[in-house]
Amino acid sequence: MLTFFRHFPGRALLCVIALWASSAGPASAAEPSADAPCPPSFRPQPPTDAALREAEVARLATLTEACHDRADYFAYQGMLLLTLGRLQEAALALEKAVLLDPDLAGAQLDYAQALAQLGELDSARSLAGEVAKRPDIPIALQAWLYDSLGAWQEDGWRLEWSIALLGGGESNLNSAPGIQFLTLTLPGGSVPVELAASEQRRSGGALRTALIGAAARSLGSGLVVISGEMTNRSSPSEADTNQRIVNGNAAYVHPALGGQMGVRVDQTRLWLGGEVTYHSSGWSLLFELPRQLSPVGCAITLGYGAENREFPRSTLQDGRYSGPQAWLACRHEDWQLYLGAQNGEDRASDAARLGGDQRRTDLTLGVGHRLGQDTVFVSAQRGRAVDQLPYSALLGGQARQIDRLSGRVAYEFPYTNQLSIVGYLESTSQKSNIDLFNMDNKAIYFGVRFRGR
């Protein structure tokens, strides 16, 4: 069902209702129990009262299994969610409806509106354009469609932001190695050296803030996206471990070869104890494969990127990283899946860099699941870095190898449309054949997140 009636003149609304009714049949008046069969049809219009629409969404949730193969069920569910502003859930339901019945024009247009409100303007324009060309679409609705296509191609910016405020603690605020003594290899034999107190592990409470913003606008047939993120971690008892990370990037994507092609540039800067300790700048070329080449409900993106990495406090570590990238992102009803892989080489800017050039491989996995209105997200990252040359004769004269594994379990409860209660547990473990680079950390944080657009 279309939700556009809120913007239609009376004649256009009648056309839309007629379009839906022709495919949906007469309205169902029964209120099924949790084990009831899927009704033969669904009502052509949503309830006018928001509370009644919420109740209708709850009723439909009891029919998910019985109606799992009914396009009109998912179309009606998606329409209701769209009127309630639950865009992500609406898009999932409407995508299912379109997959089950590609000719269901009402679901296609609701799906287009959901995508447009989520910022996926290219996909929204494509869907609306296809429906506008159908011979069975009423003239009034065609006119509205072309107006919408024009609106979705306007130069206005779409903005989204969120800010999270969290409190918690970490077991290793300064990312110190998990040793008290370091063994040095000298001509006369091995000598243990005790690490300075400032270099040993320090734990304590901390406050975290995370500000995320994104802006998008159409440009020709493509889309410009600018986004940024700033995270701060401060510890009242360990001020010299305070950390700030700022990242910004800009991308342009354009339909090409049945998929989408894009270019992205980004900058990242890290402060520790108020001093800049890391800075990177890079670019990536990206290509999202055509939908028919990806699993249902998924998108596959391939790319190649390069970045300059600078360490102001230790310029000998500077280098340039480059290599291929690949991502798989899937969305199925209450589930989301993300897989990412990168494999490249970090070439030393200075031939005297300890370990020389370095080979790096990174894998990322993320799984999200909606439990009613709540969301649980589990993620893991695995990285390996291998030096090509011996790191240091003092540390055994062997090429360094570092394996890093981190995992996070996060929870979000939406208290209102703009306010959520959030929390996460995180564990990081880094192992190396050189003890100096062994490290582990445990973290726990709880707080709130505000969203706006």
pLDDT tens-digit series, residues 237-266 = 888 899 999 999 999 998 888 888 999 999
Q: Identify the residue with better confidence: 421 or 18.
A: 421
pLDDT of amino acid 88: 85
Q: Identify the residue with better confidence: 32 or 269.
A: 269
Measured CA to CA, the distance from residue 289 to residue 268 in angstroms comes to: 28
Mean pLDDT of the chain: 84
pLDDT of amino acid 333: 65
What confidence category does residue 8 fall into, taking pLDDT thresholds of 50, 70 and 90?
Answer: very low
Measured CA to CA, the distance from residue 223 to residue 216 in angstroms comes to: 7
Q: Identify the residue with better confidence: 147 or 175.
A: 175
Cβ-based burial of 75 (10 A; exposed 0-12, middle 13-18, buried ≥19): buried
Cβ(116)–Cβ(152) below 8 Å: yes
**Tokens 């609306």, residue?**
128
Per-residue tokens: 342: 């990168």
Q: Identify the residue with better confidence: 11 or 130.
A: 130
pTM of the model: 0.67
pLDDT of amino acid 326: 97
pLDDT of amino acid 131: 72
**Tokens 């993300």, residue?**
338
pLDDT of amino acid 48: 75
pLDDT of amino acid 30: 40
pLDDT tens across 420-435, in order?
999 999 999 999 999 8
Mean pLDDT of 382-403: 93
pLDDT of amino acid 144: 59
Q: Identify the residue with better confidence: 275 or 20.
A: 275
Per-residue tokens: 321: 């990283």
Q: What percent of the chain has pLDDT over 70?
A: 86
Measured CA to CA, the distance from residue 93 to residue 80 in angstroms comes to: 10
Measured CA to CA, the distance from residue 141 to residue 236 in angstroms comes to: 60
pLDDT tens across 159-202, in order?
889 999 999 999 999 988 988 788 788 887 778 887 777 778 89
pLDDT at 441 over 90: yes
pLDDT of amino acid 142: 57
Cβ(309)–Cβ(343) below 8 Å: no
pLDDT of amino acid 412: 94
Mean pLDDT of 36-57: 81
Q: Identify the residue with better confidence: 9 or 313.
A: 313
Cβ(90)–Cβ(121) below 8 Å: no
Which structural domains are found in the chain, ordered by start?
A: 4-152 (1.25.40.10), 158-452 (2.40.160.40)
Most confident of 30-44, 46-60, 112-126, 340-354: 340-354
Per-residue tokens: 183: 């063994």
Weakest-pLDDT range from 7-16, 60-69, 107-116, 385-394:
7-16
What confidence category does residue 133 fall into, taking pLDDT thresholds of 50, 70 and 90?
Answer: low
pLDDT of amino acid 13: 33
The widest CA-to-CA distance across the chain, in whole angstroms, is 94
Cβ(324)–Cβ(286) below 8 Å: no
Mean pLDDT of 38-42: 84
Cβ-based burial of 195 (10 A; exposed 0-12, middle 13-18, buried ≥19): middle
Cβ-based burial of 260 (10 A; exposed 0-12, middle 13-18, buried ≥19): buried
Most confident of 29-33, 71-75, 182-186, 206-210: 206-210
